[in-house]
Amino acid sequence: MDKQNLKKKFAAIFGEQDSALFFAPGRVNLIGEHTDYNGGNVFPGAITLGTYAAAAKRSDNTIRLYSENFPEKGVLSFQLDQLEYKKEDSWTNYPKGMIHYMKEAGYAVTSGMNIFYWGNLPNGAGLSSSASIELLTGVILTSLFELDANPIELVKMGQKVENDYIGVQTGIMDQFAVGMGKKNHAMFLDTNTLECEWIPIELPKHALVIMNTNKRRELADSKYNERRSECEQALKELQTKLDISSLGELTENEFDKWKHMVSTNVLRRRAKHAVYENGRTKKAATALKAGELEAFGQLMNQSHLSLRDDYEVTGKELDALVEAAWKQTGVIGARMTGAGFGGCAIAIVETDQLDLFIDSVGKQYESEIGYPADFYIAAVSDGAKRLED
């Protein structure tokens, strides 16, 4: 949707002409899955798909929100002093949570607003549509009310919305990638310290392909929290002998030396994934800096196998996509991305093989699973921002 159309839609819904325009990307994680809440490193990039908004202040205290992605829900309204979570308020809980925490932090959100949202991220696909809405709302508030909130504060508030307001125990990666993205750069992020190194991702002869299983995954209802508590249990057992505060502090060798401390095979495999994936992420950052794309691709493949066999979060749909991708000519690497249990996988594919890749993987997936996958070519983009009029 172009800028003119966004403004027109806003005017049609809210009956006023003047609005400011904003964008927040989605994200893919190139490697480093389920490491963020284990104190490890992640390696995401913001993408050119995301969420757009047109917004304007009101003269009263009413907040009116509309999403072109959920037109059947119409305009949802609430007052500036009515910001508690309500299940029936569906998608608007994400912006509402953000407004709630901005006000709680002392920022002067002094009036209501009209906000029109439209996103081209597939819903429930694991590309961080919720973090995109959260950071987009944070940037809208900062801009409309001329607040001095810095991007890291907005990132932390977005995570608070997920953890404390919605009740999903996610790490900080999604909000960080969406809020701090930089065009043509992946973010090598230490989730303990929030130290980040932006590493150029140059793909002159390759493209990043996002493959959507079209199996929706709802994080709150998935086994995400179960995996998290399994890792916490493994950590607790290791801490009886080791002075560590997270699994991310262990090297692969250290883990292998002490894994007998972990009581069950299942817990051992969960912890092994967290430790080894963190090691792979560090190696991947080194490979990308050195321009070693083939080595990077091999690490992506190993990551998927670990997520499939040790962490058990892939499922038949993601495995079907990734295993089909591995067989195609011109594929550097492929893996699931996001929390798993459905959602998306990514592949790095030679540009001149793209059409054949999409056709072959698509046919194989549909014959195996019974319904089609969707494919998106994405570039690595900037983070959440106000758009120039």
339-376 exposure pattern, b = at least 16 Cβ within 10 A, e = fewer: bbbbbbbbbbbbeebbeebbebbbebbeeebeeebebb
Q: By C-alpha distance, which of 269, 270, 272, 262 is closest to 240?
A: 262
Cα separation, 218 vs 63, whole angstroms: 27
Angle 182-35-28 from CA coordinates, rounded to 5°: 35
Rounded alpha-carbon distances, angstroms, from residue 75 to 67, 89, 116, 117 = 8, 11, 9, 11
SS3 state at 44: strand
In the block, which residue shows the tokens 């701090």?
180
156-179 exposure pattern, b = at least 16 Cβ within 10 A, e = fewer: bbbbbbbeebbebebbbbbbbbbb
- At 45, the amino acid letter reads G
Cα separation, 106 vs 97, whole angstroms: 15
The encoded tokens of residue 347 equal 């592949």
Angle 144-145-151 from CA coordinates, rounded to 5°: 85
303-312 exposure pattern, b = at least 16 Cβ within 10 A, e = fewer: bbebbbebbb
Cα separation, 281 vs 139, whole angstroms: 30
Dmax over CA atoms of the chain, in Å, equals: 66
Residues pairing with 333 in the sheet: 348
**Catalytic-residue membership of 174:** yes
Catalytic residue among 81, 148, 174, 319: 174
Answer yes or no: are the C-beta atoms of 114 and 134 closer than 8 Å. no
- Residues recognised as catalytic: 174
